[in-house]
Structure 1
């Protein structure tokens, strides 16, 4: 029978899938329009924005598929389900975004120093497509706003659209500068600025994703404080082999070997286990719902090692 939390997670997953699907449809439509704009105008700023939107489309497709797969229940082969996929998608999307940003930065520098030359063929069309892109991105941001902090997958999608909105602003500003001043290098400069805005954000998301993939201790969780709390549970002698990591957003796990007094009854050991679980769910900024404790009677480790030596 489904728990209240499972029903809530399922509703949230369905909402994420609908939100991402709607954003994907809108972004893909504007991508096609801006691609036509690049062909017609030859604008670098618009080209960078189109490359960015292609990344958006790719990441949104992956994010939408991820949101659908994350609704599947865990199996014997996938005991956490597809939860970890959100982190992999975020890492892949932000890596592609980083590469697009580096390319745009290099291309902008080459044009500004005169190694490569290119002029915008139709500045008015460039402005029109920039405005279309900005309006579409604002609509997408409005759609994603309510759920962009739910997990890394949704955060990556929101980041993509936010960066693209900034790109559209750069296209509009560059077009207006060229129209009113005639300075054509404004297009290349805008492309470089867009790239500079993209790169730090991509690096931050890559870093967050890698920390999860490397199973680092969850941010905000002091493992020394956790050990101290567990050590103070009545009946506990010592805690060792303590590990904590994040499976996916909202899914933190912790495991530990807990040495207890050897003369405790089964009921007393059960109470120790309950106390430790309550402690980890309520005493720390990061609530840990998935816990695995190995209860060991005092002296167990020495007896186990002695037994192993005899068998060897």
Structure 2
């Protein structure tokens, strides 16, 4: 048996693969950008959080206090996201062969779970405020409007900082969703203040809060589902393993493909491995050509860019003690 490992090209256009050094350099550069943007967003969010706490105490606004609590939740996610961005820049070693790449998925899952909890809580709180006892009214609606606008401006700046990189990975996406939901909360505070000033109806706070919660929950569920797919090592979305097997088995000198697996380590890092049965008696040069053809097949025929492939080449008729455990 010949066991060979190769790194395929990073795109489906047939271009050559990036070296490990080039890929690592790009990852470090992106990590620095993520860290810088997250830290600026965290500073803005922390400042507005303190302002909203003071504003809630001065105005007696429950809406502002709940929004401040939401921002405290967001701060915890932003802190975790910033730490993740720092750790993801560390090089892989013998104990962490993928480095800290998987941490972005764990952070995203935790952030999505927290966001989901806040959304459900906000929806329940909205119902209780709308149909239950409203408690004391807002003492100073104009001051409430000021703090709402202050929070909205800060959130808009934070959104601008994260918008261009929110699609880079799940960690940045989770941070962006937190800030976006903060902005929606600030909009609710501003609109509520304006409506109360115009009509005197304080129940609009509860209606706006319920709408924000309904917008928040589906996004949290979608992010959580994406993170769980990676954590469960499901096949990367858009990659059909039956088609992959059929294409690989059409490579010259390949007899069969079995024990085929594909998963995702982190955003943009899908991996694939397979046992490939080849014709008996191949030379090392011929085996190398088969390996190159297998990698080229993945690059040219499938939309998912598989950067890391591991193919175990087995001569036809090869038997191993673990053969009974291999997938057909």
Contact 1:133 1:168 in 2 (8 A): yes
Q: Which runs of 5+ in 2 are unaligned?
A: 1-18
Q: Give the corresponding residue for 1:174.
A: 192
- Asked whether 1:269 is paired with 2:301, we answer no
CA 198–48 in structure 1, closer or farther in 2 if over 3 Å, else same? farther
**Range 258-267 or range 118-127, more displaced:** 118-127
Task: Determine which structure has the larger helix proportion and give its number.
Answer: 1
The 5 Å alignment of 1:87-126 reads 87-115=105-133, 117-126=135-144
Tell me the TM-score normalised to structure 1 length: 0.94
Shift of 1:41: 2.4
- Asked whether 1:151 is paired with 2:156, we answer no
In the alignment, the residues of structure 1 paired with residue 80 and residue 114 of structure 2 have an alpha-carbon distance, to the nearest angstrom, of 12
CA 272–118 in structure 1, closer or farther in 2 if over 3 Å, else same? farther
- Asked whether 1:250 is paired with 2:268, we answer yes
Q: Give the corresponding residue for 2:50.
A: 32
Runs of 4+ in 1 over 6 A off after TM superposition: none
Contact 1:44 1:187 in 2 (8 A): no
CA displacement, residues 105-129 of structure 1 (integer Å, 9 cap, x when unaligned): 1111111112453422221111111
In the alignment, the residues of structure 1 paired with residue 212 and residue 323 of structure 2 have an alpha-carbon distance, to the nearest angstrom, of 65
RMSD of aligned C-alpha atoms? 1.7
Contact 1:38 1:47 in 2 (8 A): yes
SS at match of 1:147: coil
Higher relative contact order (CA 8 A, sep 6+): 2
Match of 1:188 among 206, 218, 221: 206
- Asked whether 1:137 is paired with 2:149, we answer no
Match of 1:127 among 127, 145, 156: 145
CA displacement, residues 49-106 of structure 1 (integer Å, 9 cap, x when unaligned): 2122112111110000000000000111111100000000011011111111111111
Contact 1:44 1:188 in 2 (8 A): no
In the alignment, the residues of structure 1 paired with residue 247 and residue 159 of structure 2 have an alpha-carbon distance, to the nearest angstrom, of 42
In the alignment, the residues of structure 1 paired with residue 23 and residue 117 of structure 2 have an alpha-carbon distance, to the nearest angstrom, of 39
